[in-house]
Amino acid sequence: MKTITYLKGDATNPQVEGNKIITHICNNIGGWGKGFVLAISKRWKKPESEYRKWSQNDKNFHLGEIQTVQVEEDIWICNMIAQHKTITSSKGIPPIRYKAVEKCLEKLSDEALKMNAGIHMPRIGCGLAGGKWEEIEPIIERTLLSNNVEVYVYDFE
């Protein structure tokens, strides 16, 4: 089975040849404006505008769904809805939804294989969504790596 390749750098600037899908986690309320999305929006406007359209008009805008937006000839952004709202609940439950992460990554795995693309990401779900990498990493192994998809995780310096 493949393993995750950890790199130092910016996930919006993938350091590999070939087709690339940069993936990240979005919330299920249409909010875009904090965290990794700011780095995406600084480079490309389309992922945000497509996400906002999707959040307003589509019955398929819910946890576990993905939206892939082409931004360059060989780069796509995948908006994955795997975060419920944006704040930790009164019961202390963070916004991340691990089951939704798994559903999204299963769908993304199919897309990546069809496009012959590697997946590039920051440590998804571990920032504002409040997730733990120890939970996310095995999900990546079960979904992407077990299907032989290349995965690159970037730690911003």
pLDDT tens digits along 9-22: 999 999 899 999 99
pLDDT at 15: 86
Domain boundaries, the chain: 5-155
The CA distance from 80 to 116, in Å, is 19
CATH number of 5-155: 3.40.220.10
- Token pair of 64, please? 């576990």
136 confidence band (pLDDT: 50, 70, 90): very high
Across the range 116-126, mean pLDDT stands at 97
The CA distance from 1 to 146, in Å, is 6
The closest alpha carbon to 140, from 129, 157, 126, 127, belongs to 126
Judge whether residue 58 has pLDDT over 80. no
- Token pair of 29, please? 């309320």
pLDDT at 16: 93
pTM of the model: 0.97
Q: What is the mean pLDDT of the chain?
A: 96
Structural element, H or E, at residue 26: strand 19-27
